[in-house]
Homo-oligomer: A and B are copies of this chain.
């Protein structure tokens, strides 16, 4: 295969992607363009620019972009409309960020006439799949370079040697092995590897990056009111806010109250099980509130349909198929159900739990007139239930009759 001439690299400014940057230059002799996204990971990005310059990247080849609003509006919120949970528990915080990054890599590649994109994900994980499926779906002729699957820098020692030989600065705390690996964005922080590798060992508190250990959460509960329009959060405590602002605020509240910590062993798309610790403070509150508003505004038919396709939808996102016809078709279904998911939910935040305690809406389907234990003025005729039950029972009776008849013959 020919060597690539221009490569757009997903560049964090950290040691690993700096080594990749240098390796691309030396291995392929190619021009490198960097893309560094502010996904709300909570780090300064200007050092990434300086480091890129220092590694010889031309200023016009350095792209640092604040994608927080795009991330929440076009990726996180559509996913939350589905109440998506992978394997019943995981809020997909890492999975949902990858397609966005690939989209920017491909767009920048087109703008620069680059022939390849590169990422820093290893060959064991899900992220390589997510980056690459997204890139190929957006540009079937793009080339994706995954240095971790190609190079021979297979040990920490070799990586550090390569860094030193290439004048890549190594922060003191990166000399040794990190005790675990971290990924972060506005939706979540994930930690995995090393000290977390044995699922029979409890994770130590120092693994938590952004949520306070629940024992340290305040003794006083906090109430928050979240307002939704067509399935998306639009206001907190009555104040309208942009998508990213809403998630940022909820993160603050959730982190303070120890909310959204998950210790999970999950099934990777590449076939193995892995253990991760996830912190999704704002997302956990948002999911609870979205369920709360759906409870009064979403019909049983649409709701049960959504529930039944949710696991598949979540699996598609987890596996990297965001940009696929089947995810888009499911999204069309989900979005259709959200037309009346409008209203407000009060959630109580306390010691690691976000719990819906009240909800109201002009779009409510809840009918106190029908459900009341009091006299209902004819809203509901209890005698209807007799026919309803008898016809629902008819096939069960026919089965029982048949079974008895067959049994009697034996």
Contacts and interface: CB of A to CB of B under 8 A. Distances in A.
Contacts of A122: 382
Contact of A315 (B304, B367, B368, B394): B304
A154 B263 CA distance: 50
A316 to B, nearest CB: 8
Given A136-B400, A366-B199, A371-B197, A392 B271 contact: yes
A381 to B, nearest CB: 7
A303 interface: yes
Interface string A241-284: 00000000000000000000101111110111111000000000
Most buried by B among A271, A352, A362, A402: A271
Contact of A372 (B88, B197, B268): B197
Contacts of A330: 305, 333
Interface string A186-198: 0000000110011
Interface string A349-369: 011110111111011111110
Nearest to A134: B396
B304 A326 contact: yes
B311 A307 contact: yes
A307 B90 CA distance: 13
Contacts of A273: 295-296, 365-367, 371, 398
Interface of A: 83, 87-89, 122-124, 128-129, 132-133, 136-140, 146, 148-149, 154-155, 181, 193-194, 197-203, 214-215, 221, 261, 263-268, 270-275, 291, 295-296, 299-312, 315, 320-321, 323-326, 328-330, 332-337, 340, 346, 350-353, 355-360, 362-368, 370-375, 380-406, 409
Given A129-B389, A299-B395, A364-B402, 4 more contacts: A137-B397, A273-B367, A305-B312, A320-B392
Top-7 shortest CB links A-B = A123-B382, A387-B387, A271-B394, A267-B300, A384-B387, A140-B397, A301-B326
